[in-house]
Amino acid sequence: MMRVNALALRIIQQFLRDRRTLALLLLAPLLILTLMKLVFDGQAVTITMGTAQLPSELSARLDDAGADVRAYDDLESALEDLRKGKLEAVITRQENNQPALTLEGSDPSKSKAVLLLIQNALRGNVSTEALPAVTYLHGSSDMASFDSFGPVLIGFFSFFFVFLLAGVSFLRERTSGTLERLLATPIRRQEIVTGYLVGFGLFALLQATLIAWFSVKVLGLYMTGSIGYMLLINLLLSLTALTLGTLLSSFASSEFQIIQFIPIVIVPQAFFSGLFNLDAMNPWLQKLSIVMPLYYGADAMRGIMIRAEGWADIQQDAYVLLGFSAVFALLNVLALRKHRKL
């Protein structure tokens, strides 16, 4: 019994000395639970719908059903806003006096919500008792939910596993003494960082290519855009994870401490990546997405795969990811100062 008590006491003392582990054990679950409450207990999502040449009676019914109805003078103006993502749907009147509905279509859950709202609005209306003719700007009626958040998962897993690869591998370089021996040579800090990024980046590129190919060719994810742009965004996302992982490994002394960064760095990004509806969050919480690299990567991936967006549409996301990588790489160079004074 005394030996058991001695062993238990040693474990307790070890935890008390490792304040980072103790904080992770006690505070990380509270942080994640709080974030989940803020995400899932946010504001109600309102369907924004454009109308063109629609009878005022039907517009009033849509408004009563809970839609945010925006009237347009002509159909083309409404469709232009639909293409820009400002609307979820556009409804107009055909020559036979029946309604015609155009869905944005990139999110099956929103499409179903629009169709349900339309059905409720038309219920009991004798003059428009037939359901509207439905067309899709993006996607189709056969598009599954996995096709919608699949691009987000591609980006998430690329980011997550490259982060682990970079963090653990760079940590081993430090703990094995390899980095210390390198720092004893005339090599510059920026050359060390660049060399590691090129070496790790080769495997990050291989992983990004494999994930993209498997998702589209084997799993059959919905894909309408350029596979080249998809690989580019996935590579930029992996590069961001690579530079971030090597940076944070400078502040860890064991593989376990690398794992400790996951609840703080990876998990919050999942909430802002597009797996959950950002519109349902409180407005102040939505602003946190601007510091989440995964938000930009997932946005570009969905645009390419579902909406067939080109470079003009995704270039902002690409430049932001490149900027994140540059900042993290620069911080890597500065972090090496604590290992060698130049």
CATH number of the domain encompassing residue 69: 3.40.50
Closest CA to 113 of 43, 48, 58: 48
Closest CA to 244 of 277, 269, 223: 269
Residue 33 lies in a domain: no
pLDDT in tens, the chain (342 residues): 676 677 677 767 766 776 766 776 677 777 777 777 776 666 667 788 888 877 777 778 888 877 788 888 888 888 888 888 888 888 887 766 777 888 888 888 888 888 888 877 776 554 444 567 788 888 777 777 788 888 888 888 888 888 888 888 777 777 777 667 766 677 777 777 777 778 777 877 888 788 888 888 888 888 888 888 988 998 899 889 988 988 888 887 777 778 878 888 888 888 888 777 777 677 777 788 888 899 999 999 988 988 888 898 899 999 999 999 999 988 888 877 665 443
Residue 153 lies in a domain: yes
Question: Model pTM greater than 0.95?
Answer: no
Looking at the structure, tell me whether residues 115 and 191 fall in a common domain.
no
Query: Which amino acid type is present at position 208?
Result: A
CA–CA distance, 157 with 200 (Å, rounded to integer): 16
Query: Which amino acid type is present at position 86?
Result: K
Looking at the structure, tell me whether residues 192 and 301 fall in a common domain.
yes
Looking at the structure, tell me whether residues 130 and 252 fall in a common domain.
no
Residue 183 lies in a domain: yes
What Cα–Cα distance (Å) separates residue 178 from each residue in 16, 183, 242, 328? Answer: 31, 9, 19, 22
Residues facing 102 on adjacent strands: 90, 135
Residue 32 lies in a domain: no
Closest CA to 336 of 165, 179, 173: 179
Looking at the structure, tell me whether residues 265 and 314 fall in a common domain.
yes
Looking at the structure, tell me whether residues 65 and 149 fall in a common domain.
no
Residue 207 lies in a domain: yes
Looking at the structure, tell me whether residues 75 and 101 fall in a common domain.
yes
CA–CA distance, 99 with 80 (Å, rounded to integer): 19
- 52: helix, strand or coil: strand
pLDDT for 54 equals: 77
Looking at the structure, tell me whether residues 168 and 238 fall in a common domain.
yes
pLDDT for 266 equals: 85
pLDDT for 341 equals: 44
CA–CA distance, 169 with 162 (Å, rounded to integer): 10
Looking at the structure, tell me whether residues 262 and 208 fall in a common domain.
yes
pLDDT for 316 equals: 94
Residue 128 lies in a domain: yes
pLDDT for 117 equals: 82
Looking at the structure, tell me whether residues 297 and 208 fall in a common domain.
yes
Looking at the structure, tell me whether residues 190 and 294 fall in a common domain.
yes
Looking at the structure, tell me whether residues 65 and 109 fall in a common domain.
yes
CA–CA distance, 191 with 198 (Å, rounded to integer): 10
Domain boundary among 90, 109, 136: 136
- Domain residues for 127? 48-136
Domain boundary among 107, 136, 165: 136
Domain boundary among 136, 166, 191: 136
Residue 1 lies in a domain: no
Residue 28 lies in a domain: no
For the chain, the domain total comes to 2
Q: How far apart are the first and last CA of the chain?
A: 54
Looking at the structure, tell me whether residues 70 and 216 fall in a common domain.
no
Q: For the range 67-71, what are the long-range contacts, defined as Cβ-Cβ under 8 Å and sequence gap of 24 or more?
A: 67/117, 67/121
Between strands 133-136 and 48-52, the pairing is: unpaired
Helices marked H in the chain — which ranges? 2-17, 19-40, 56-64, 75-83, 108-122, 145-175, 178-183, 189-213, 227-249, 255-260, 267-271, 283-286, 293-307, 311-335
